[in-house]
Amino acid sequence: MTVHPQSSTAPPAEEPPAPAAGGSAHPAPLAPRLPGFRGTFAWGLVRALRPRQWVKNVLVLAAPLAAGEIFNAEVMRPTAVAFLLFCLSASAVYLVNDTIDVEEDRRHPRKRFRPIAAGIVPRWLALAMAAVLLVVALTAAALLTRPELAFVLGSYVVIQLAYCVFLKNQPVIDLAVVASGFLLRGIAGGVAAGLLLSQWFLLVAAFGSLFMVAGKRYSELVLVGDAAATRKTLKEYSPSYLRFVWSLSAGVAVTAYSLWAFEMGETQDGVPWSTISIAPFVMAILRYAVDVDRGAAGAPEEIVLRDRVLLFLGVLWVVTMALGVFDV
């Protein structure tokens, strides 16, 4: 299958410099600063934390919602704390990752405008901020919630930092590591609230995460022609392989969710909302696959917010699933 690069709304990228002798590349030039306030140091510090990607941390609410305990005050408080601490930890990891990948990011059509790659935020300051955020997050997790949350948060940080340093260059392993970040978010909500996580929840979370990650890599492969200059593992993947991964993971996620829904439906009276929720769940996955197929799923959080049909299906799924869980 031949993949043609898609157009991007980001400013056009400069042609990457040719590799020097020995396989290394010359330092990439800095991207021009964004005009106005967006190009200032203060706004650069905010952007370096990637607050848009905090949307991913909403997964912390998944376990309490699936257990029907989301409105319980004793569950809501530790869950909210877990959400905030994951935001701090994720931002710290992003700062470390962008500091390490600064040269690769400068060759990417969109990532070259990140504050660290653009030279707005110094590397030393980014690492100092990351250290402070990690200390605050892990300390607060141990003091404000259950010790188990500190363990989950610490595992997330260790795995993600290992990814930043060397695991990102290991094919297949990089997919599993990124997917584990989504899975640990889902586990954190249950652990913080002291809820028992079902096997169905873990299966849906794990393979749903893998589906999103494979789609993200496919979109990167479509968007960027020179894969070696931006992400080394893209050289090891073909479009057909990534299609296989996201098809397999989507199939397992749908099967596991359907089994959970039928199990829940057997115990309810009246309308089987849990069973009905299978329809919007499957349609949401198929709609997301459309975005993946055209190479527009490089940033999952942006796709979810910009694709109104996908957003509607997601809301419909949450509503029908919640009606089943709360036995309305």
Beta-bridged to residue 106, according to DSSP, are: none
Which pLDDT value is given to residue 327?
57
> CATH second-level architecture of 43-197?
Orthogonal Bundle (1.10)
Residue 231's H or E segment, with its range, is none
Q: Are the C-beta atoms of residues 133 and 88 closer than 8 Å to each other?
A: yes
Q: Is pLDDT above 70 for 247?
A: yes
DSSP assignment of 5-70: PPP-SSPPPPPPPPBPTTS-BPPPPPPPPPSGGGGSHHHHHHHHT-GGGGGGGGGGGHHHHHTT-T
What is the pTM (predicted TM-score) of this model?
Answer: 0.77
Q: How many CA atoms lie within 13 A of 43 on its CB side?
A: 11
Alpha-carbon span 156 to 153, nearest angstrom: 5
Alpha-carbon span 273 to 297, nearest angstrom: 30
Alpha-carbon span 23 to 327, nearest angstrom: 61
Other Cβ atoms less than 10 A from the Cβ of 56: the count is 20
Which pLDDT value is given to residue 227?
45
Q: Is pLDDT above 50 for 21?
A: no
Beta-bridged to residue 25, according to DSSP, are: 19
Which pLDDT value is given to residue 158?
94
**What are the tens digits of pLDDT across the range 253-274?**
999 999 988 887 655 557 888 8
pLDDT-derived band at 5 (thresholds 50, 70, 90) equals very low
Beta-bridged to residue 19, according to DSSP, are: 25
Average pLDDT estimate for 174-183: 90
Alpha-carbon span 317 to 157, nearest angstrom: 31
Q: Which token pair is 71? A: 């409105």
Q: Cα–Cα distances in Å, from 59 out to 186, 208, 243, 257, 304?
A: 5, 11, 24, 16, 13
Amino acid identity of residue 49, one-letter, is: L
**What are the tens digits of pLDDT across the range 264-302?**
765 555 788 889 999 999 999 999 888 888 766 556 666
**In a 3-state reduction of DSSP, which class is residue 249?**
helix
Q: Is pLDDT above 70 for 34?
A: no
Q: Is pLDDT above 70 for 233?
A: yes
Q: φ and ψ at 111, to 5 degrees?
A: -65, -20
**In a 3-state reduction of DSSP, which class is residue 19?**
strand
Q: Is pLDDT above 60 for 235?
A: yes
Closest CA to 212 of 155, 281, 291: 291
For the chain, the maximum distance between any two Cα atoms, rounded to a whole number of angstroms, is 71
Q: Which token pair is 12? A: 């056009």
Contacts of 11 (CB under 8 A, 6+ apart): 31, 109, 113
Which pLDDT value is given to residue 326?
78
Work out the end-to-end distance of the chain between its first and last CA atoms, rounded to an integer number of angstroms. 48
**What are the tens digits of pLDDT across the range 184-218?**
998 998 898 888 888 888 899 999 999 988 888 88
